[in-house]
Amino acid sequence: MVIKPMIRSNICINAHPIGCAKETARQIEYVKQQKTKRGIRTAAEGGAGPKTVLVLGCSTGYGLASRISAAFEYGADTIGVSFEKEASERKYGTPGWYNNKEFDKEAAAQGLKTVTLNADAYSDETRQAVIAQVKEWGRKFDLVIYSLASPVRTDPDTKVLYKSVIKPIGREYGGAALDMMTGKITQASTGPAEGDEVANTVKVMGGEDWERWMKMLSEAGVLAEGCRTVAYSYIGPALSHPIYRDGTIGEAKKDLEKRAKDIDASLKSIGGSAYVSVNKGLVTRSSSVIPIIALYLGVLFKVMKKKGTHEGCIEQMERLFAERLFTGDSNGAGKVPVDEEGRIRIDDWELDPAVQAEVDSIMPTVTEENIASVADLDGLRHDFLAINGFDVPGVDYEADIADMTKID
């Protein structure tokens, strides 16, 4: 079968096995190069960075990039958790399933311990499985990454299923919606959250589950002295605040930040700490369908690439590890620079006032006729496709794929 991208309304509903694997391999190669460039040493080489890392939401985006940085730059053994649709011989799996498979293959080839659990990270059964696995290794986690982004979560106590929404609060939000594949611009709007939608979104995307993870890991005695934990967030520019920072997702992220302080306090007894890292805006499955966001990202990418400051997931996470989390002697846990709210800001280059001023000056001028020149439309398309294994260099997209479970 020859696999071509199947796209519906800025959503790609299939994946290319070899493309996903090659894109994961590209990120691995990037951090290996950065390891050499920065002179980072693994534990086996006398370094003091992370040795045993848990990544919750390990299969795509920032979670995958975090796991790659931990393993291939710092030499950490890792346990990853994500919930993916497995491939069969004749039916493709989700992109994350292929990404995980490539990660495990490359980690094993480098002599690293790796276990990937295809399971619901919100369940206590999965927590117990992770605890059992790290105890089997005879190890404790010195870093826990929380990078879950799911539309639904079942409360492990009540068994109630909660659903999250991306909506403004109190008023409608509208703006230009960009079709990344065609360059067409339309006007789109989203009505305000209703009923329990805000509370439900906080229940899914807030910090409750992160706090539960850290509590159970602590009670099981599998957190190492000095363990750090990091969850990911986004603030973005003022133009997106009504739909994001001041919307339902923003309320969830504020809950995440509040609980980070509670988790931080609970880790003091072992010299640990908890952080929220505010990251850069990137093309994701969710950002692609939010009014104004795709257009904003297209302009932002153009401006940042011109300035030489554009980063994708892997560049962001490698910089987070090397320039925020592990800045001490021998690449150990040094003092973490934070803002006045105690957050790590790795979105600093995106929200540079000079960058935002240029973006703000361009946004009102964008039309279908000039978008290819004033925005990075090609870059948007590439990132959108590459998430699903398409438009990846070195892949023969005319080749027949006889077995959807194979990644080479």
Residues designated as active site: 244
Q: Which residues of 134-169 are buried (b: 16+ CB within 10 A; e: fewer)?
A: beeeebbbbbbbbbbbbeebeeeeeeeebebbbbbb
Sole residue written with tokens 């589950």: 209
Question: How far apart, in Å, are the Cα atoms of 350 and each of 35, 180, 249, 316?
Answer: 24, 21, 20, 11
Q: Do the bridges between strand 11-12 and strand 7-8 make them parallel or antiparallel, or are there none, so unpaired?
A: antiparallel
Q: How far is residue 59's CA from residue 66's CA, in Å, rounded to a whole number?
A: 10
Sole residue written with tokens 């986690």: 141
Q: How far is residue 18's CA from residue 11's CA, in Å, rounded to a whole number?
A: 20
Half-sphere exposure (Cβ direction) of 193: Cα atoms closer than 13 Å: 24
Residue 179, C-beta contacts closer than 8 angstroms, at least 6 positions apart: 10, 185, 186
Nearest to 166 by CA among 289, 278, 300, 298: 289
Q: How far is residue 172's CA from residue 252's CA, in Å, rounded to a whole number?
A: 19
